[in-house]
C-alpha cells in the first residue's frame, strides 16, 4: 500500500541459527554452505484522489456570503468546466464549474443554503474512478411450468335461422304524456374526485409565493435606503432627436464596417453626460455622511442600468471623459453581453459616479428615476415619439424624448441641476457642441 516495502520471504530450509546480513537493496541470509537472496519490491503510489471536494470560491471584499442554487443533482454526470451550481450574492451570481469530468457523489449544502468563501459545496468522483459496484441482483426464479389447460367445452349449437318477420307492436292512439320543465330532475352529478387531488375549476383565483432572491432583496434595500437618506428632487426637459437620428442614419454603416459595432443613441447620451459632469462637478460629487465632507471626483465613471431576468444590474463604464463614441459603444456592448450571460463580476459594478437609466427601450414615456447610492444624481431616458412642436414660429412634427434628472437636493441646488440637464440637451441635439467644447 502506498510506498511501503513488501518483502517476499521464501526461506524454507534455512536453519534458525543462520544469521541475516543487510545491503542497500537486498537482505541476505548467510549460511556456511549457501547464501539465499531475498528481494524486496516497492509498489507504485495508488491514486487516492478519485473523489474530490469542491469548495466555495472566494468572494470580493464587499461580499461575505451567498445562496446556493443547484443546477445538478446527485448522480448526474458532468463535463469539465460544466456549471454545477450558482452562488447568488447581493450584487451578482457566481458560477461554480466542475474541476474535472465525473459524477456528482454528494451535495454538501442544501438548495438555497447560505455559504461563505471556502465552504465545501459538493463531492465529485472523477471519470475513470470506478464507483463502488452494486451487488448483482439475484437472478429471477425460472418460470413455473405451465399447467395443462383443460379442454375447452364445445361451442353451443347454432340457433335456427327464423323464416318469418317478428310482429310489429301496435301504435297507441292516446296522446303522449308531457311534463313541465320544473318536473324534470337533473342528471346525477359526476362522482367527486378522490381526496387529495386538486380539481381545476374554471376562473379559479389562486396565488403562490416565491422567495425573493438575494439580488432582489439587495435592490429593495438600497432603493429604500436612497429614499430614506437623500432629499430627492426631479427636474425634466425634452430633447429634439432629429439631428442625432440623422447623424446615425448617415454614419451607421461606415461605423459598423470600421468598428464592427452598431451606432446607437446610448453613446451620445453617455458622452453628453460626461461633458456635463465636467461642466458641473458638484453633480459628480457625493456626501460622505461619516465625516460630513463633500467628495469631488476628478474622473467620470458612468453606471449604465441593464435589466436582466435576475434583476437590475448597473455595470460601470470607467473614465468616460477620455472615450469617444466608438469606445463607449464597445464598452457598453461588452458589459451588456456579460450581463445577459450572467458573467458580470463584482469589479464590473463597483464604483460609479453617475447613472443613466434608459426606460425608453420598454416604451416608457415619462418617469422619475431613483438615485443609485452612494451617487448624487441619475439621468432617466425615455422613448422617442413624434410630437408637434413649435419651431421658428411654425408647428412641426419632430422626434422628441423626455429626460428626467433626479438629484440629491442636500448637495445639488436647482440651478446646477437645471444647467446640467440643459447641457446634456444641447450636446445631444447638436453633437458639434462636444467638438467645440461650448
**93-97 and 83-88: which strand pairing?**
antiparallel
Q: What is the 3-state secondary structure (H, E, C) of 26-63?
A: EEEEECCCCEEEEEEEECCCCCCCCEEEEECCCCCCCC
Cell numbers 379442454 correspond to what residue?
151
Residue among 297, 268, 257 at smallest CA distance from 281: 297
Of 90, 413, 430, 437, which is the active-site residue?
413
Which string of DSSP letters, residue by residue, matches 227-268?
HHH--EEEEEEEEE-HHHHHHHHHHHHHHHHHHSS---SHHH
Within 10 angstroms of residue 360's Cβ, the number of other Cβ atoms is 19
Q: Is 413 one of the annotated active-site residues of the chain?
A: yes
Q: Judge contact between 74 and 43, C-beta under 8 A.
A: no
Q: What is the 3-state secondary structure (H, E, C) of 304-369?
A: ECEEECCEEECCEECCHHHCCHHHHHHHHHHHHHHHHCCCCCHHHHCCCCEEEEEHHHHCCCCCCC
Sign for the pseudo-dihedral over CA of 380, 298, 61, 228: negative
Q: Judge contact between 407 and 372, C-beta under 8 A.
A: no
Cα gap 295→286, rounded to integer Å:
5
Of 76, 259, 327, 409, which is the active-site residue?
409
Cell numbers 386538486 correspond to what residue?
198
Q: Judge contact between 40 and 4, C-beta under 8 A.
A: no
Cell numbers 464604483 correspond to what residue?
351
**120-126 and 102-107: which strand pairing?**
antiparallel
**Radius of gyration, alpha carbons of the chain:** 41
Residues belonging to the chain: 438
Classify 65 as helix, strand or coil.
strand
Cα gap 64→50, rounded to integer Å:
31
Residue 431: CB partners within 8 Å, gap ≥ 6? 243, 244, 247, 268
Classify 269 as helix, strand or coil.
helix
Residue among 295, 406, 400 at smallest CA distance from 353: 295
Q: Is 409 one of the annotated active-site residues of the chain?
A: yes
Query: Known catalytic residues?
Result: 409, 413
Amino acid at each position: 500500500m502506498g510506498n511501503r516495502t513488501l518483502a517476499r520471504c521464501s526461506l524454507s530450509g534455512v536453519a534458525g541459527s543462520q544469521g541475516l546480513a543487510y545491503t542497500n537493496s537486498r537482505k541476505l541470509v548467510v549460511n556456511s554452505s549457501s547464501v539465499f537472496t531475498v528481494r524486496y519490491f516497492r509498489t507504485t503510489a495508488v491514486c487516492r484522489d478519485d473523489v474530490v471536494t469542491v469548495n466555495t470560491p472566494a468572494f470580493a471584499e464587499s461580499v461575505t456570503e451567498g445562496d446556493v442554487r443547484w443546477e445538478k443533482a446527485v448522480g448526474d454526470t458532468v463535463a469539465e468546466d460544466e456549471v454545477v451550481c450558482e452562488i447568488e450574492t447581493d450584487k451578482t451570481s457566481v458560477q461554480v464549474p466542475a474541476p474535472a469530468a465525473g459524477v456528482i457523489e454528494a451535495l454538501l449544502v442544501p438548495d438555497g443554503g447560505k455559504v461563505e468563501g471556502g465552504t465545501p459545496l459538493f463531492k465529485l468522483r472523477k471519470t475513470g474512478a470506478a464507483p463502488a459496484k452494486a451487488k448483482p441482483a439475484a437472478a429471477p426464479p425460472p418460470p413455473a411450468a405451465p399447467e395443462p389447460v383443460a379442454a375447452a367445452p364445445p361451442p353451443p349449437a347454432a340457433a335456427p335461422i327464423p323464416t318469418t318477420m317478428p310482429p310489429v307492436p301496435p301504435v297507441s292512439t292516446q296522446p303522449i304524456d308531457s311534463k313541465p320543465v320544473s318536473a324534470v330532475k337533473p342528471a346525477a352529478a359526476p362522482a367527486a374526485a378522490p381526496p387529495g387531488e386538486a380539481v381545476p375549476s374554471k376562473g379559479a383565483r389562486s396565488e403562490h409565493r416565491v422567495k425573493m432572491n438575494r439580488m432582489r432583496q439587495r435592490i429593495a434595500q438600497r432603493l429604500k435606503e436612497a429614499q430614506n437618506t437623500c432629499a430627492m428632487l426631479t427636474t425634466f426637459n425634452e430633447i429634439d432627436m432629429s439631428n442625432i437620428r440623422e447623424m446615425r442614419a448617415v454614419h451607421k454603416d461606415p461605423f459598423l464596417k470600421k468598428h464592427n459595432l452598431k451606432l446607437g443613441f446610448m453613446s451620445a447620451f453617455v458622452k453628453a453626460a460626461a461633458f456635463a459632469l465636467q461642466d458641473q462637478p458638484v453633480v459628480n460629487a457625493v456626501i460622505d455622511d461619516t465625516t460630513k465632507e463633500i467628495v469631488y471626483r476628478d474622473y467620470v465613471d458612468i453606471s449604465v442600468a441593464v435589466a436582466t431576468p435576475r434583476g437590475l444590474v448597473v455595470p460601470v463604464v470607467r473614465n468616460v471623459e477620455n472615450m469617444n463614441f466608438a469606445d463607449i459603444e464597445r464598452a457598453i456592448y461588452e458589459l451588456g453581453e456579460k450581463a445577459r450571460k450572467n458573467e458580470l463580476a463584482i469589479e464590473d459594478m463597483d464604483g460609479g459616479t453617475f447613472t443613466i437609466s434608459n426606460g425608453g427601450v420598454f416604451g416608457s414615456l415619462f418617469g422619475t428615476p431613483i438615485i443609485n447610492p452612494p451617487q448624487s444624481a441619475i439621468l432617466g431616458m425615455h422613448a422617442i415619439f413624434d410630437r408637434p412642436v413649435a419651431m421658428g414660429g411654425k408647428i412641426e412634427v419632430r422626434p422628441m424624448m423626455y429626460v428626467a434628472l433626479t438629484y440629491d437636493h442636500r448637495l445639488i441646488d436647482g440651478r446646477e441641476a437645471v444647467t446640467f440637464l440643459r447641457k446634456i440637451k444641447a450636446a445631444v441635439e447638436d453633437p458639434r457642441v462636444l467638438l467645440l467644447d461650448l
